[in-house]
């Protein structure tokens, strides 16, 4: 099931950029969760195009419809089907891509794999696929929030070479949303916005880093071996378009420390086993330890450029391609709610799996 994610709380996304609609089916959702359309819409609005002058001007409301699984304002335990119609499709804008492979895009590999390809707007590789993830993630976030007080906060921490200082507190949603670039450090945010605009003016693009923190997760989520919490988070993040790397806790820079510098010593804090430092990033031995979960995701610069690039066509002949269509010169601002959504999906699924094995029968 290549288009499904999660073992118990399972989401299946479907839809292409220029098909009739995109959507998601959420299967295994706990029953009786209060759920209204606006809660899902709010998350989609954070991801939708046209929300600021930094992102693609594609004009779509991305209005979500709940088709099943909710009755009188509560989930029933039946699969929840969510649908968003595609309304601003401009297939003609992509005619050139029918014949030419865009560099660093999925055009060539889709053709190689499937022997057929919906070239309009990238088809299935379009960022519109993430609408389903965000809609499902909104439900997962609500489950985590209502049931466990869990808070998930992603934010842009670097654009190109402009890096924000590490936040000295758990950033609030307001701080993140204060700037269109979703960097909670206002000064850096301003420079990031300037950079993105400058790069866009050149028809170019930039990438950067998103950091995600999660607090309120109890100790015990995750599995010792293959389904380690960080392994599933890594998969979730690398499953997003344009990602090239993942690190948790001390990450790549932690490899420069000695063990004596890196270990998180345990202490008793207010009656609880806690660690003094958090180089583990909230996960030890694959399992959450109750500390803040902290990871970072690397996004490459957007592949679509509004400038001429050399490539080959579907017959293998040299060709030139002039980027058209609507695109984001930097995907990070809109990727923030998507990172949160994927983190929420991983956590809810592990929470339920943990409960199944360790909470069902008491011996």
Q: Is 158 in the site for its own copies (CB under 8 A)?
A: yes
In the block, residue with structure tokens 């994927």: 342
Strands 64-66, 21-27: parallel, antiparallel or unpaired by DSSP? unpaired
Picking from 205, 235, 234, the residue whose alpha carbon sits closest to that of residue 105 is 205
Instruction: Confirm or reject binding of residue 197 to its own copies (CB under 8 A).
Output: no
Is 174 among the residues that bind its own copies (CB under 8 A)?
A: no
- Using CB under 8 A as the binding rule, whether residue 131 contacts its own copies is answered as no
**325 near its own copies, rule: CB under 8 A:** no
User: Of the two residues 13 and 169, which places its CB atom closer to its own copies in the complex?
Assistant: 13
Residue from 54, 196, 237, 338 touching its own copies (CB under 8 A): that is 237
DSSP string, 36-66: -HHHHHHHHHHH-TTSSTTS--------EEE
Binding segment for its own copies among 43-51, 52-60, 153-161, 176-184 (CB under 8 A)?
Answer: 153-161
Residue 161 CB contacts under 8 Å (≥ 6 apart), including other chains: none
Separation in Å, CA 356 to CA 121, 231, 351, 353, 362: 42, 20, 9, 5, 11
The reply on whether position 347 binds its own copies by CB under 8 A is: no
Question: Would you give the end-to-end CA distance of the chain in angstroms?
Answer: 35
Strand pairing class (287-288; 283-284): antiparallel
Answer for which of 49, 69, 167, 171 binds its own copies (CB under 8 A) is 69
Q: Does 146 bind its own copies (CB under 8 A)?
A: yes
Q: Build a one-symbol-per-residue string for 86-125: x at contacts with its own copies by CB under 8 A, - elsewhere.
A: ---------------x-xxxxxxxx-xxxxxxx----xxx
Verify binding: residue 255, its own copies, rule CB under 8 A.
yes
Q: How far apart (Å, rounded) are the C-alpha atoms in residues 60 and 21? A: 12
- Judged by beta carbon, residue 16 or residue 43, the one nearer its own copies is 16
Closest distance of CB 3 from its own copies, Å? 5
Q: What are phi and psi of 362, to 5 degrees?
A: -110, 125
Q: How many residues bind its own copies (CB under 8 A)?
A: 167
Cα–Cα distance for residue pair 298/344, rounded to 1 Å: 19
Tell the burial category of 132 from Cβ atoms under 10 Å away from its Cβ (0-12, 13-18, 19+).
Answer: buried
* Residue choice 59, 149, 170, 359 for contact with its own copies (CB under 8 A): 359
- By CB under 8 A, tell whether 206 contacts its own copies: yes
Nearer to its own copies, 172 or 216 (CB): 216
Measured from the CB of residue 134, what is the shortest distance to its own copies in angstroms? Answer: 14
Q: Are 296 and 158 in contact (CB under 8 A)?
A: no
Stretch that binds its own copies, among 51-59, 72-80, 167-175, 176-184 (CB under 8 A): 72-80
Pairing mode, strands 208-215 and 151-159: antiparallel
> How buried is residue 261: exposed, middle or buried, by Cβ count under 10 Å (0-12/13-18/19+)?
exposed
* CB count in 10 Å sphere of residue 262: 15
Which window, 38-46, 54-62, 174-182, 280-288, contacts its own copies (CB under 8 A)? 280-288
Q: Going residue by residue from 6 to 45, which x/- string records binding to its own copies, judged by CB under 8 A?
A: -xx-x-xxxxx--xxxxx-x-xxxxxxxx-----------
Nearer to its own copies, 22 or 176 (CB): 22
Give least dist CB 192 to its own copies, A.
13
| Smallest distance, its own copies to C-beta of residue 246, A | 5
């Amino acid at each position: 099931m290549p288009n499904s994610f999660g073992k118990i709380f399972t989401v299946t996304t479907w839809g292409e950029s220029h098909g009739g609609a995109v959507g998601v089916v959420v299967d295994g959702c706990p029953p009786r969760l209060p759920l209204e359309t606006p809660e899902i819409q709010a998350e989609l609005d954070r991801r939708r195009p046209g929300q600021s002058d930094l992102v693609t001007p594609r004009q779509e409301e991305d209005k979500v419809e709940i088709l099943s699984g909710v009755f009188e304002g509560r989930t029933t335990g039946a699969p929840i089907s969510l649908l968003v119609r595609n309304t601003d499709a401009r297939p003609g804008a992509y005619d050139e891509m029918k014949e030419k492979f865009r560099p660093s895009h999925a055009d060539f590999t889709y053709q190689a794999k499937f022997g057929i390809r919906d070239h309009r707007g990238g088809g299935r590789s379009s960022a519109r696929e993430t609408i389903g993830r965000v809609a499902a993630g909104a439900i997962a976030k609500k489950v985590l929030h209502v049931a466990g007080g869990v808070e998930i906060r992603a934010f842009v921490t670097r654009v190109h070479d402009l890096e924000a200082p590490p936040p000295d507190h758990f950033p609030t949603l307001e701080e993140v949303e204060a700037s269109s670039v979703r960097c909670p450090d206002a000064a850096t945010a301003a420079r990031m916005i300037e950079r993105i605009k400058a790069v866009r003016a050149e028809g170019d693009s930039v990438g950067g880093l998103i950091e995600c923190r999660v607090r309120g997760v109890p100790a015990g989520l995750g599995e010792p071996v293959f389904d380690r919490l960080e392994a599933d988070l890594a998969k979730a993040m690398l499953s997003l378009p344009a990602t090239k790397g993942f690190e948790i806790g001390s990450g790549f820079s932690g490899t420069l420390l000695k063990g004596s510098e890196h270990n998180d010593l345990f202490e008793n804090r207010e009656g609880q086993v806690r660690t003094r430092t958090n180089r583990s990033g909230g996960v030890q031995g694959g399992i959450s330890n109750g500390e803040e979960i902290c990871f970072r995701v690397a996004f490459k610069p957007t592949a679509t450029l509004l400038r001429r690039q050399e490539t080959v066509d579907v017959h293998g002949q040299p060709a030139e391609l002039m980027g058209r269509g609507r695109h984001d010169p930097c995907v990070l601002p809109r990727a923030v709610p998507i990172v949160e959504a994927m983190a929420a999906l991983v956590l809810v699924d592990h929470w339920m799996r943990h409960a199944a094995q360790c909470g069902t029968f008491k011996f």
